[in-house]
């Protein structure tokens, strides 16, 4: 995709996480290993859910989509960092930089909405179990999933389009390891007030709206679970929701810290960014596999079939 750009800057230099050579090697190894584990773990979840008919339910359909989005987020950010380290060329073209902004926010926006959808799924399953199959039918699930991807697409355009409009006259050094709205705004050679407001509204509506829906859903869920007489039933319900709550916390806390404030680069921004672009997508696969007996058994079953073949 080509973007119209009438400014002087045609490429940017990504300064990375640290200028220390030793730390650069450490981050390179960590990024590469974690990325391979992220792709492998999440693709394993997707294949397992696709192959095992017992996992063909809305909950696991949403989980497989979460895995795809996690791979997408990591793939937008990590390979470019690794390539820059190996080639010693830290530059990224203007178009590629804007594309990275778009796809990163596309995947993150879709994941944000998907987490809300997963909370709604648990709400219906626990609070309205008798109507679950009626409400969460195949057509409804497909429509809800498509809406999360469309919402992510709109969020991606909402973040990338204002960044394209800004004039970049130099310097062209981005003090980050990937292109994002805040580091780019710092380099703009004109007022970024409107962009800052647009950015905060775009991210704020998505993040706060999603958080409110999640909060309301889990208030109802927890109140319903506490009314379950069987301790085994309560434990099972809480265990199902605990994985989702852990993922929600890992996802929203860093994003709120980064995007719910003016675009001023703080000392801890890079490490926080590493957490939600590299670490969280990797942890999500472990959280859902280690805390979900059905997924673990299905993976072992799949492994057994592969060994037999």
Q: Determine the pLDDT at residue 22.
A: 84
Residue of 20 and 154 predicted with greater confidence: 154
Q: Which two tokens stand for residue 240?
A: 């199902």
Provide the angle, in degrees to the nearest 10, between the axes of the packed helices 58-87 and 280-290. Answer: 140
Mean pLDDT over 59-85 rounds to: 93
Give the residue among 9, 37, 12 at the shortest CA–CA distance from 179.
12
**CA separation for the pair 80, 92 (Å, rounded):** 9
Q: Determine the pLDDT at residue 137.
A: 93
**CA separation for the pair 206, 65 (Å, rounded):** 19
- Note the pTM of the prediction, 2 decimals: 0.89
SS3 169: coil
Give the residue among 126, 170, 125, 119 at the shortest CA–CA distance from 148.
119
pLDDT of 305 strictly over 80: no
Domain range 11-307, CATH architecture: Up-down Bundle (1.20)
pLDDT tens by residue, 261-304 = 766 667 678 888 888 899 999 988 888 776 777 888 888 887 77
pLDDT tens by residue, 27-60 = 889 999 999 999 999 999 999 999 888 888 998 9
pLDDT tens by residue, 178-220 = 999 888 888 888 877 777 777 777 777 787 788 788 888 888 8
Q: Determine the pLDDT at residue 309.
A: 61
SS3 188: coil
Please state whether 54 falls in left (phi above 0), alpha (psi between -120 and 50) or beta. alpha
Domains of the chain: which residue ranges? 11-307
Give me the chain's average pLDDT, please.
85
Residues 6+ apart with CB under 8 A from 101: 156, 159, 160, 163, 179, 180, 181, 184
């Amino acid at each position: 995709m080509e973007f119209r750009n009438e400014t002087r800057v045609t490429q940017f230099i990504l300064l990375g996480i640290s200028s220390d050579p030793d730390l650069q090697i450490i981050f390179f190894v960590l990024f590469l290993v974690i990325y391979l584990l992220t792709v492998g773990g999440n693709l394993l979840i997707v294949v397992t859910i696709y192959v095992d008919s017992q996992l063909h339910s809305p909950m696991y359909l949403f989980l497989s989509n979460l895995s795809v989005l996690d791979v997408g987020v990591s793939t937008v950010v990590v390979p470019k960092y690794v390539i820059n380290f190996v080639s010693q060329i830290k530059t990224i073209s203007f178009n590629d930089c804007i594309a990275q902004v778009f796809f990163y926010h596309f995947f993150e926006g879709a994941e944000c909405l998907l987490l809300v959808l997963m909370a709604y799924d648990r709400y219906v399953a626990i609070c309205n179990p008798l109507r679950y199959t009626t409400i969460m039918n195949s057509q409804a699930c497909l429509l809800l999933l498509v809406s999360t991807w469309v919402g992510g697409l709109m969020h991606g355009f909402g973040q990338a389009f204002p960044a394209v409009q800004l004039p970049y006259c130099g310097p062209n050094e981005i003090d980050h390891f990937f292109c994002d709205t805040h580091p780019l705004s710092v380099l703009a050679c004109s007022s970024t007030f409107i962009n800052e407001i647009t950015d905060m509204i775009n991210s704020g509506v998505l993040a706060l709206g999603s958080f409110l829906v999640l909060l309301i859903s889990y208030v109802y869920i927890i109140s319903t679970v506490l009314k379950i007489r069987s301790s085994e039933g309560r434990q099972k319900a809480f265990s199902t929701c605990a994985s989702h709550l852990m993922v929600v916390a890992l996802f929203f806390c860093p994003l709120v810290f980064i995007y719910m404030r003016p675009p001023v680069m703080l000392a801890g921004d890079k490490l926080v960014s590493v957490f939600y672009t590299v670490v969280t997508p990797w942890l999500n696969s472990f959280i859902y596999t280690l805390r979900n007996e059905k997924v673990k058994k299905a993976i072992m079953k799949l492994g057994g079939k592969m060994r037999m073949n």
